[in-house]
Structure 1
Amino acid sequence: MNVASKICVAIAPKRLSDLEPLFREASAVEPGFIEIRFDAMEPSELAAAVKKASEFTQLCRLIATFRPKGEGGFRAISDDERRDFWAALSEGFWGCDVESDAVSWVEHKNKIVSRHDFEGMPASLEGLFAELTEFECKAVKIAVTADDAVSTIPVWKTLLTESKGDRDAILIAMGEAGKWTRILGPSRGSLLTYASLDAGAATASGQVSAMEMRDLYRVDELNKDTRIYGVIGDPIGQSLSPNIHNPLFANAGLNAVFLPFLVKDLRGFIDGFVRLGTEQCGLNFDGLSVTMPHKVSIIEMLDEIDETAARAGAVNTVSSVGGKLIGYNTDAAGFLLPLKARVPDLNGVRAAILGAGGAARACLSALSNEGADSTVFARDESAGRALSAAFSCDFAKLCEGNDLSAFDVIVNATPIGMRGEFEHLSPVPEASLHAGQVVFDLVTSPAETLFLAAARNAGAEVIPGVEMLIAQGLRQFEIWTGTVGDEQVVRASLAAKMAS
Structure 2
Amino acid sequence: MRRNSTLICAPIMAEAVGQMLVQMKKAKELGADLAEVRVDFLKNFSPRNDLEVLIKQGPLPTLITYRPKWEGGQYDGDENKRQEALKLAMELGADFIDIELKVGLPTVAQEFYNFIQGNKPEKVKIIVSSHNYECTPSIEDIGDLAARILATGADIVKVATTALDITDNARMFHTIVHSQVPIIGLVMGERGLMSRVLAPKYGAFLTFGSIEPGVVSAPGQPTIKDLLDLYNLRQIGADTKVHGVIGNPIGHSKSPHLYNAAFKSVGFNGIYLPLLVDNVANYISTYSSPDFVGYSYTIPHKEDGLRCCDEVDPIAKEIGAISCMIRRPVDGKLIGYNVDYLGAIAAIEEALRATNGVPASSSPLAGKLFVVIGAGGAGKALAYGAYEKGARVIVANRTYGKAKELATKVGGQAITLDELKDFHPEERMILANTTSVGMKPRIDDTPLPKEALKHYSLVFDAIYTPKLTRLLREAQEAGTTIVYGTEMFINQAFVQFKRFTGLPAPKQLIRDVLARNT
Question: Normalized against structure 2, the TM-score is what?
Answer: 0.86
Which of the numbers 265, 282, 285 marks the counterpart of 2:292?
Answer: 285
Which of the numbers 501, 504, 508 marks the counterpart of 1:481?
Answer: 501
Structure 1 residues 447 and 93: alpha-carbon distance in aligned structure 2, compared to 1, 3 A threshold: farther
Find out whether 1:168 has 2:182 as its counterpart: yes
Q: For residue 416 of structure 1, what is the aligned residue in structure 2?
A: 437
Q: For residue 294 of structure 1, what is the aligned residue in structure 2?
A: 301
Find out whether 1:365 has 2:380 as its counterpart: no
Q: For residue 361 of structure 2, what is the aligned residue in structure 1?
A: none
Residues 335-377 of structure 1: CA deviation (Å, up to 9, x unaligned)? 1222122113111222221211101111111111112222222
Residues 203-226 of structure 1: CA deviation (Å, up to 9, x unaligned)? 222212211211222212211211
Find out whether 1:315 has 2:336 as its counterpart: no
Q: For residue 31 of structure 1, what is the aligned residue in structure 2?
A: 32
Amino acid at match of 1:234: N
- For residues 338-377 of structure 1, what are the structure 2 equivalents within 5 Å? 338-344=347-353, 345-377=364-396
Residues 249-305 of structure 1: CA deviation (Å, up to 9, x unaligned)? 11111111112222222112222213xxxxxxx451221111222211222321212
Q: For residue 68 of structure 1, what is the aligned residue in structure 2?
A: 68
Q: For residue 164 of structure 2, what is the aligned residue in structure 1?
A: 147
Q: For residue 277 of structure 1, what is the aligned residue in structure 2?
A: none
SS at 1:426 equivalent: coil
Find out whether 1:117 has 2:132 as its counterpart: yes
Quote the RMSD (CA, aligned, Å). 2.6
Amino acid at match of 1:35: E
Q: Structure 2 CA distance, aligned partners of 1:213 and 1:62?
A: 20
Amino acid at match of 2:129: S
Q: Structure 2 CA distance, aligned partners of 1:352 and 1:157?
A: 49
Q: Structure 2 CA distance, aligned partners of 1:264 and 1:196?
A: 26
Residues 164-199 of structure 1: CA deviation (Å, up to 9, x unaligned)? x1x311111111211111111122110011112232
Q: Structure 1 CA distance, aligned partners of 2:418 and 2:10?
A: 47
Farther-moved stretch of structure 1 (174-183 vs 76-85): 76-85
SS at 2:498 equivalent: helix
Which of the numbers 343, 346, 349 marks the counterpart of 1:334?
Answer: 343
Q: Structure 2 CA distance, aligned partners of 1:78 and 1:464?
A: 60
Residues 311-339 of structure 1: CA deviation (Å, up to 9, x unaligned)? 32211111111222111111011112221
Q: For residue 279 of structure 1, what is the aligned residue in structure 2?
A: none
SS at 1:433 equivalent: helix
Q: For residue 179 of structure 1, what is the aligned residue in structure 2?
A: 193
Q: Structure 2 CA distance, aligned partners of 1:265 and 1:207?
A: 23
Q: Structure 2 CA distance, aligned partners of 1:48 and 1:273?
A: 49
SS at 1:89 equivalent: helix
Find out whether 1:325 has 2:325 as its counterpart: no
Structure 1 residues 393 and 40: alpha-carbon distance in aligned structure 2, compared to 1, 3 A threshold: farther
Which of the numbers 138, 159, 174 marks the counterpart of 1:157?
Answer: 174
2:309–2:335 CA contact under 8 A, matched in 1: yes
Farther-moved stretch of structure 1 (104-113 vs 357-366): 104-113
Gaps of 5+ in 2: 103-107, 354-363
Q: For residue 357 of structure 2, what is the aligned residue in structure 1?
A: none
Amino acid at match of 1:146: A
Farther-moved stretch of structure 1 (85-94 vs 260-269): 85-94
Q: Structure 2 CA distance, aligned partners of 1:373 and 1:219?
A: 49
- For residues 201-240 of structure 1, what are the structure 2 equivalents within 5 Å? 201-240=215-254
C-alpha displacement of 1:78: 5.1
Structure 1 residues 128 and 496: alpha-carbon distance in aligned structure 2, compared to 1, 3 A threshold: same
Farther-moved stretch of structure 1 (132-141 vs 91-100): 91-100
C-alpha displacement of 1:416: 1.9
Q: How many residues align?
A: 485
Q: Structure 1 CA distance, aligned partners of 2:145 and 2:233?
A: 27
C-alpha displacement of 1:236: 1.9
- For residues 48-127 of structure 1, what are the structure 2 equivalents within 5 Å? 50-57=51-58, 59-74=59-74, 76=76, 79=79, 82-89=82-89, 91-101=92-102, 102-103=108-109, 104-105=111-112, 109-123=124-138, 124-127=141-144
Find out whether 1:398 has 2:417 as its counterpart: yes
Residues 44-92 of structure 1: CA deviation (Å, up to 9, x unaligned)? 68876544422444x3222122223342325655535533542443633
Structure 1 residues 365 and 119: alpha-carbon distance in aligned structure 2, compared to 1, 3 A threshold: same
Structure 1 residues 55 and 362: alpha-carbon distance in aligned structure 2, compared to 1, 3 A threshold: same
2:429–2:455 CA contact under 8 A, matched in 1: no
Q: Structure 2 CA distance, aligned partners of 1:146 and 1:19?
A: 30
Residues 461-496 of structure 1: CA deviation (Å, up to 9, x unaligned)? 333222211111110011222221112211222233
Structure 1 residues 314 and 19: alpha-carbon distance in aligned structure 2, compared to 1, 3 A threshold: same
2:450–2:474 CA contact under 8 A, matched in 1: no
C-alpha displacement of 1:247: 1.2
C-alpha displacement of 1:143: 1.0
Residues 439-461 of structure 1: CA deviation (Å, up to 9, x unaligned)? 22212223333333333333333
Q: For residue 360 of structure 2, what is the aligned residue in structure 1?
A: none
2:31–2:224 CA contact under 8 A, matched in 1: no
Amino acid at match of 2:83: R
Question: Normalized against structure 1, the TM-score is what?
Answer: 0.89
SS at 2:365 equivalent: coil
Find out whether 1:13 has 2:14 as its counterpart: yes
Amino acid at match of 1:197: I
1:399–1:428 CA contact under 8 A, matched in 2: no
Q: For residue 458 of structure 2, what is the aligned residue in structure 1?
A: 438
Amino acid at match of 2:127: I
Q: Structure 2 CA distance, aligned partners of 1:434 and 1:198?
A: 45
Q: For residue 278 of structure 1, what is the aligned residue in structure 2?
A: none
Farther-moved stretch of structure 1 (115-124 vs 11-20): 11-20
1:442–1:464 CA contact under 8 A, matched in 2: yes
Structure 1 residues 495 and 74: alpha-carbon distance in aligned structure 2, compared to 1, 3 A threshold: farther
1:232–1:290 CA contact under 8 A, matched in 2: yes
2:6–2:204 CA contact under 8 A, matched in 1: no
SS at 1:63 equivalent: strand
C-alpha displacement of 1:407: 5.6
Find out whether 1:272 has 2:311 as its counterpart: no
Which of the numbers 260, 270, 289 marks the counterpart of 2:274?
Answer: 260
Q: Structure 1 CA distance, aligned partners of 2:318 and 2:136?
A: 42
